[in-house]
Amino acid sequence: MKSDKFLTILFFVGSVILIGVSVFFYMEADRTGPAIAYGAEAPAYTDGISEAALLYGVTAVDDREGDVTDRLVVEKVSVNEAARTAVVYYAASDMSGNVTKVARALAIGDGAASDEAGQTESEK
């Protein structure tokens, strides 16, 4: 009988300790994705525009890791010819696997695609 009571108390204390450790690790985990920002000046979207040109001026910053712009990608581009707009979907991730996605509407421009410096192939 005493042995059963001792084991019950031992299991209870062990469970409380394990719950405490689990809560600690849960609270310390990084569950926030990076913030993606871009300036007010947006490139005009043209057919064949490079990913580098779409990423120019776009940054990603994580609250724990700092600048994670190197893990920023263009996920997809959706073109609406009727509205003369293109929506560019950006995604960035941190080392904890958190992902942030944002969309940016660009006007469809006329002419050749430009690079990250804003120069067209004919201007180079």
Length of the chain: 124
pLDDT in tens, the chain (124 residues): 678 888 898 899 999 999 999 888 887 777 789 999 998 888 899 988 999 999 999 999 999 899 999 999 999 999 998 889 999 999 999 998 899 999 999 999 875 444 444 433 433 3
* Residue-range definition of the domain harbouring residue 111: 35-123
Query: Looking at the structure, do residues 15 and 65 belong to the same domain, yes or no?
Result: no
The answer to whether the predicted template modeling score (pTM) of the entire model surpasses 0.75 is no
Query: Looking at the structure, do residues 61 and 113 belong to the same domain, yes or no?
Result: yes
Query: Looking at the structure, do residues 70 and 105 belong to the same domain, yes or no?
Result: yes
CATH (domain of 41): 2.60.40.10
Query: Looking at the structure, do residues 100 and 64 belong to the same domain, yes or no?
Result: yes
Q: How many domains does the chain have?
A: 2
Query: Looking at the structure, do residues 25 and 60 belong to the same domain, yes or no?
Result: no
Query: Looking at the structure, do residues 102 and 54 belong to the same domain, yes or no?
Result: yes
- State how far the Cα of 3 lies from the Cα of 55, in Å rounded to an integer: 67
